[in-house]
Amino acid sequence: MRMVNTVIGEAPVSIGDGNYSSKYPKRTDFLEAGVPFISANNLDNGVVISEGMRFISEQQHSTLKKGHLEKNDVLVVTRGNGIGNVARVDEKWQGANINAQLVLLRADDIKISKKYLFLYTRSKYFFDLVKLFSSGTAQPQLPIGALKKIPVSYPENIDDQLKIVRIVSAYDDLIENNKRRIELLEDSARQLYKEWFMRFRFPGHEHVKIIDGVPEGWESCPASDALHINPRVSVEKGKEIVCVPMASLSESQMTVDKSAFEQRTNHTSVKFMRGDTLFARITPCLENGKTAFVYFLEEGEIACGSTEFVVLRGKKVSNQFTYLLAREESFRGNAIKSMIGSSGRQRVQPSCFDKYIVPIAPDYIQEQFDSMVSSAFEQIAVLAKQNEQLARARDLLLPKLMGGEIAV
């Protein structure tokens, strides 16, 4: 298999950006509907998402001569904290515009396959190169000139490129299948929580009266009494432990992205253990739903994390109950209402947990609930670990395939 070893700037790939100088849309130009104006925030796990999408008018779109998207273009974040994130443009976003944080890569699909280019840019190898070629710390950026110097290797024969795509896609398909299973398992646990503890349709509810807003035999208490809020955890000074950044938390699931974890000896003040829940306390992370269940530590292991986490641990309820409670819109809404601070840096006030009332069921009901949801939590942890192993195997295999070390 003959390989072409070059750099992006000399490969059969065109590069476009969203720098429109004086024609760049102002804040007042954005509309509720129109032509999508895609930003780094709209890139998620290799796809463009609608959440938070901004729009411009058709008239303004026609004045922007650059950054018009075609199907299967690859978008790369080249400015800000999401630098190196990528997404492939599907048919839905054809004709959209991109903002100044993004660059588009368009393979000719003759000498280099569009699918192969996307596969390459999604690799850890490419991500690490972006970090290496970027500049700045507070606001990292990758100028187009630097992007053009990033190495790229591809088989001379496009059929060989597509064989590599098929091999690696098999790993991605398994990972996506596990993600769907995780989503279904978590949704089933959340629905059971709603049914038992919000609608009060627990087993035998037909024979129980509602007194003062809760079933007879239950109690109501503030979240600050039902949970430990930021429980004290001590760890030996200078000991190397895992540190979890905000970027690792998902907006929709309990799982975390371990690729952003660090090993640190200078610990943050926020420490937690297996079974705790991490709850974002700063805007916009809280509004976006960043929350995690700490399934990824061993029993007795201690980690630290972002100082913008609130750590929640069950006191009168289980740890599984605590996580599902933290995922409820009403719980998050109560925290959001308490936020104070300057625009863009608002934080939750600890007193908000005194104001949110939690229904506490008798022990036998809680035990029954826990036994049902614990299975889902355990399966999610197993599937998440499988995905880590699959991703690791894929990331080890991909450079060898792309470098021609392994024949296809």
Asked if the structure places residue 295 within a domain, the reply is: yes
Are 348 and 228 members of one domain? yes
Are 151 and 15 members of one domain? yes
Predicted local distance difference test score (pLDDT) of residue 168: 94
**Taking 90 as the threshold, does the pLDDT of residue 22 lie above it?**
no
8 A C-beta contact, residue 89 and residue 75: yes
Asked if the structure places residue 53 within a domain, the reply is: yes
Are 31 and 151 members of one domain? yes
Are 342 and 227 members of one domain? yes
**Taking 90 as the threshold, does the pLDDT of residue 133 lie above it?**
yes
8 A C-beta contact, residue 78 and residue 148: no
Asked if the structure places residue 103 within a domain, the reply is: yes
Asked if the structure places residue 214 within a domain, the reply is: no
E-state strands within 267-398: 270-273, 277-280, 291-293, 302-305, 309-314, 357-360
**The domain containing residue 106 runs over which residues?**
3-156
pTM value is 0.85
Q: Among 360, 384, 400, give the residue marking a domain's end.
A: 360
Residue 355 to residues 10, 210, 338, 351: CA-CA distances in angstroms?
Answer: 61, 22, 10, 7
Are 232 and 348 members of one domain? yes
Average pLDDT over residues 325-351: 94
Predicted local distance difference test score (pLDDT) of residue 124: 87
Longest dimension (CA), the chain: 77
Strands lying side by side in the sheet with 227-229: 227-229, 309-314, 277-280, 291-293
Average pLDDT score, the chain: 94
Predicted local distance difference test score (pLDDT) of residue 333: 97
Q: Among 127, 156, 185, give the residue marking a domain's end.
A: 156
**Taking 90 as the threshold, does the pLDDT of residue 314 lie above it?**
yes
**Taking 90 as the threshold, does the pLDDT of residue 80 lie above it?**
no
Asked if the structure places residue 181 within a domain, the reply is: no
Asked if the structure places residue 260 within a domain, the reply is: yes
Distance, CA of 154 to chain centre: 30
Are 138 and 236 members of one domain? no
**Taking 90 as the threshold, does the pLDDT of residue 200 lie above it?**
yes
Asked if the structure places residue 170 within a domain, the reply is: no
Containing 381, the helix (H) or strand (E) segment is helix 363-402
Average pLDDT over residues 363-374: 98
Are 245 and 134 members of one domain? no
Are 253 and 348 members of one domain? yes
Predicted local distance difference test score (pLDDT) of residue 373: 98
150: left (phi over 0), alpha (psi -120 to 50) or beta: beta
Are 149 and 233 members of one domain? no
Q: How confident is the model at residue 113 (pLDDT cuts 50, 70, 90)?
A: very high
- Residues belonging to the chain: 408
Are 235 and 326 members of one domain? yes
CATH of the domain at 113: 3.90.220.20
Dihedral sign computed on CA atoms, order 161, 163, 164, 170: positive
Asked if the structure places residue 366 within a domain, the reply is: no
Are 285 and 356 members of one domain? yes
DSSP letter (8 states) at residue 32: S
* Distance in angstroms (rounded) separating the CA atoms of residues 404 and 293: 41
Domain count, the chain: 2
**Taking 80 as the threshold, does the pLDDT of residue 81 lie above it?**
no
Are 109 and 227 members of one domain? no
